[in-house]
Amino acid sequence: MGAWFGETAVSGALVLAVPVALIAGLVSFFSPCVVPLLPGYLSYMTGLSAADLESSKRGRMLLGALLFVLGFSVVFVSYGALFGNIGFRLEEHQRIVSVVVGSIVIVLGIAFIGWIPFMQRELRVHSVPAVGIGAAPILGALFGIGWTPCIGPTLAAVLGLSMQEATAGRGALLTLSYCLGLGIPFILAALGFRRFMGAIDWVRRHQRMISYIGGGLLILVGLALVTGWWDWMVVEMRSWFPTVTTVV
């Protein structure tokens, strides 16, 4: 298992795709779907009132955040494995898959910027139970399922790259990277709520700029897939690891 993980992680495609997935996760966190509601998320996952978040013990906050992240990671990693398996079945049509996926990612990038108004609707679960740490993983899973349309552009781009990887394992690894990008800020917020909320105020003031950066990243990835630059970069990066036999 360790050998497989090591060989897979340094394959040319994942060396290129994993950073994209991590950044996509961060962009999702700082989107209007997540970051403005952060105190509410932390309150639900810890069972504390919003007023008690600043004075609560870090251990409780950290445990609640970890379990919450675990919950949505199970959902998203399952998506990644599924799309990776679909990509495996379509591997003989890889070039067509790249063009289709790339075209979709470009559209998603444009939507993320806000230039496609009807794709800006925030379809999500608006009612969640008032739970504590014990149910934090369930709340995380509900977040993963219910907020999928809301963080759709970035998540869909990562799922498209998972299909591009053409194995369930690689797809799962890629969406796990996405989950790290989305989940680590939750954990940091739990460890230092007051300080992190100060940084969040800056993010709120520059929300438009973040949307342009995130959307621009998706558009660049989509263009790379459509034009074949992605495949060229993958081949180039594989030459950096001549002793590694990648798992197909």
pLDDT of 65-108, one tens digit each? Answer: 899 999 999 999 999 999 888 888 887 787 888 888 889 889 88
Residue 242 lies in a domain: no
Name the domain count of the chain: 1
Residue 50 confidence class, pLDDT cut points 50, 70, 90:
low
Residue 245 lies in a domain: no
Residue 153 lies in a domain: yes
Residue 243 lies in a domain: no
Residue 248 confidence class, pLDDT cut points 50, 70, 90:
very low
Residue 241 lies in a domain: no
Domain extent, residue 205, equals 2-236
pLDDT of 193-211, one tens digit each? Answer: 767 766 667 766 777 887 8
pLDDT of 157-186, one tens digit each? Answer: 888 888 887 788 888 989 999 999 999 988
Global confidence as pTM:
0.78
Inter-CA distances, 25 with 127, 174, 176, 209, Å: 24, 11, 10, 17
Residue with tokens 């994993």: 18
CB atoms within 10 A of CB 242: 6
Are the C-beta atoms of residues 162 and 174 closer than 8 Å to each other?
yes
Residue 247 lies in a domain: no
Q: How far apart are CA 113 and CA 214, in angstroms?
A: 8
